[in-house]
Amino acid sequence: MNRPPQELARAALPPHVARYLILFVGALVAIGPLSLDAYLPAMPAMADAFHVGIVRINYTISVYLVAYGIGQFFGGAFSDQIGRKRIGLIGLSIFMLASLAIAFSTTAEEVQWLRFVQAIGGGFSTVICMAIVRDVYHVDELGRRMAMVTLVMLASPVIAPTIGATLLRFGWPAIFFFQAAYAGALALVYAAFVPETRPGDWRKLSVVTTLRQCTQVIARKNADGRRPITYAITMALSASVFMTFITNSSFAYIDYFGAPASRFPLYFSVAVIGLICTNLFSMRRLNSSNAPTFFRLGLGLQATGVVSLTAVVLAGAGSIWYVVAPVSLIVAAFGLTGPSGSSQFIRNYDRLAGSASSLYTTLLFSTGAVFGAVSGIFFDGTLRPMAFTMFVASLAANSCALLTGAKIGRPAPRAPTPARDPTRDAA
């Protein structure tokens, strides 16, 4: 009897791979936060260098998020067709070359266009991470493994702003030289030491197949008749809450409160440390039966933080710590929502894991880009546009969560046995 390609890959995977695979996947998915967080302390300096306003530089984040979503959309589906490793190496190469080009940019417009290209490579590189985990581990392990990947990844938002602030002493281009070196090192490790987990064939590459696979992901229903895609939409809205903050964080901490760039990593890392703690909790406690409870609790905690932030901003936000505290709760809450929601989403897909990952991350970053851009459109020199945009995103996330059927104390429905996929390769 023929076996699916990913089952053959799993069976042939060397025993020692599991020892470092999660570490590598975490380092690979960290490309996303590193490309965003490392240059946050440098944004005011870049605005001065290019003689433009801070909002113009803020838009480079929104441009990156849009293109990152596009790269994720096609990269995940293509990895189902031609293999994870090929897509990962192509993405890392594009990211590295674009990062080098950004370092030599002379205008804000050049940075925006090159950030678009860089993000395509970043999307290709990172979309395969969730699919690799799905290829290798059993469905009942996904929640803990996702939390472990996220935990490894979360070192980057703590370290990246510090690296950016340190490299800023040598000029903002040094930050992008660092990003290029990081991508190049990962490409070498991937090529030399990490095996393929989902073999494919170049002849299977097809945009039409990509669109058909995404349609199948959207149409899939779980055991209780609900569509898992509602989990992806909810998490996209939830992630938009803190992505809106990331888009405005440089203005909020450095421009609005007047904090020096060297102290930016301190304020930024407080939130990330909370996220690490909640991810550790998820890694230890999350399982397939309590995932809906973790999911709804995370959304509720995030909403509490958003309401607190909005109240503080309306009251005048007299101290930077009045903003840091609720933002920390907002970000930490995703340590409950992210692993539980992503595991509940991806567990419904097997042979379409790459396409499901691409659609999920496309929604995540594209929605974040939209909300971040909206906060820029209404920019008035205060923190109100940021806080109001985050409030709307949180309200939408909690409303959409009702469609998932996830409730506190209610066990998750069993993942369905996947129907035969007409797009999969015959082994």
Which two structure tokens, joined as six digits, stand for 217?
Answer: 């992901």
Residue 156 falls inside a structural domain: yes
In a domain, 160, yes or no: yes
**pLDDT given at position 422:** 44
Number of domains in the chain: 1
Asked if residue 272 is part of any domain, the answer here is yes
Q: Which CATH number covers residue 249? A: 1.20.1250.20
Rounded-to-5 percentages of helix, strand, coil across the chain: 80, 0, 20
**How far from each other are the two terminal CA atoms of the chain, in whole angstroms?**
9
Q: For residue 307, is it within any domain?
A: yes
Please give the helix or strand (H or E) that residue 248 lies within, else none: helix 229-250
pLDDT of 133: 78
Walk along the chain (427 residues) and give the pLDDT tens digit of each residue.
455 544 544 444 555 555 678 778 888 988 887 888 888 889 989 999 999 988 889 889 889 988 988 888 888 778 878 888 999 999 999 999 999 999 999 999 999 999 999 999 998 998 888 778 777 776 566 566 666 666 666 666 667 888 888 899 999 999 999 999 999 999 999 998 888 877 877 777 888 887 887 888 898 888 778 888 999 999 999 989 988 988 888 889 988 999 888 888 888 888 878 888 887 888 788 887 888 889 999 999 999 999 999 999 999 888 899 999 999 999 899 888 888 888 888 888 877 776 787 788 788 878 888 898 899 888 889 999 999 999 999 999 999 999 888 777 666 555 554 444 444 443 3
Place of tokens 């838009």: 59
pLDDT at 386 (0 to 100):
94
- DSSP H or E run through 123: helix 108-136
Query: What's the one-letter identity of residue 44?
Result: P
422 part of a folded domain? no
Cα–Cα distance for residue pair 84/77, rounded to 1 Å: 10
Looking at the domain assignment, is residue 352 inside a domain? yes
For 177, the domain range is 5-404
Q: What is the pLDDT of residue 356?
A: 81
pLDDT of res. 111: 94
Query: Is 411 a member of any domain?
Result: no
Of 202, 182, 201, 178, residue with least CA distance to 190:
182
In a domain, 11, yes or no: yes
